[in-house]
Amino acid sequence: MTSTITIPRPDDWHVHLRDDAMLDAVVGYTARRFRFAMVMPNLIPPLTSVAAAVAYRDKILASAPADSGDFRPVMALYASPEVDLDDLRTGIADGVVAAVKYYPAGATTNSEAGAASMRDLMPLYEVLADTGTRLLVHAESTDPTVDIFDREAHFLENQLAPLMDEMPELLVTVEHVSTAAGVELVRDRPGTAATITPHHLARERSDLLADGMRPDLYCKPVINSEADRVRLVEAATSGDPAFCLGTDSAPHPTTAKYGPKAKAGVFNAAYGLEVVAETFHSHGSLDALPAFASHNGCAIYGVDAPSDHITLVREPVDSELATQFTTSAGDEVVLFGVEEAMQWTVREADPKG
End-to-end CA separation in angstroms for the chain: 22
The region, left, alpha or beta by phi > 0 then psi within -120 to 50, assigned to residue 348 is beta
CB atoms within 10 A of CB 283: 15
Q: Exactly one of 207, 228, 248, 304 is catalytic; name it.
A: 248
Could you tell me the CA-to-CA distances from 156 to 117, 182, 183, 246 in Å, in that order? 12, 7, 11, 19
- Residues 6+ positions from 96 with CB-CB distance below 8 Å: 50, 53, 54, 57, 75
CB atoms within 10 A of CB 314: 17
Per the annotation, the verdict on 248 as an active-site residue is: yes
Return d(Cα 170, Cα 126) in angstroms, integer: 8
The per-residue DSSP string of 157-183 comes to: IIIIHHHHHH-TT--EEETT--SHHHH
Return the active site residues. 248
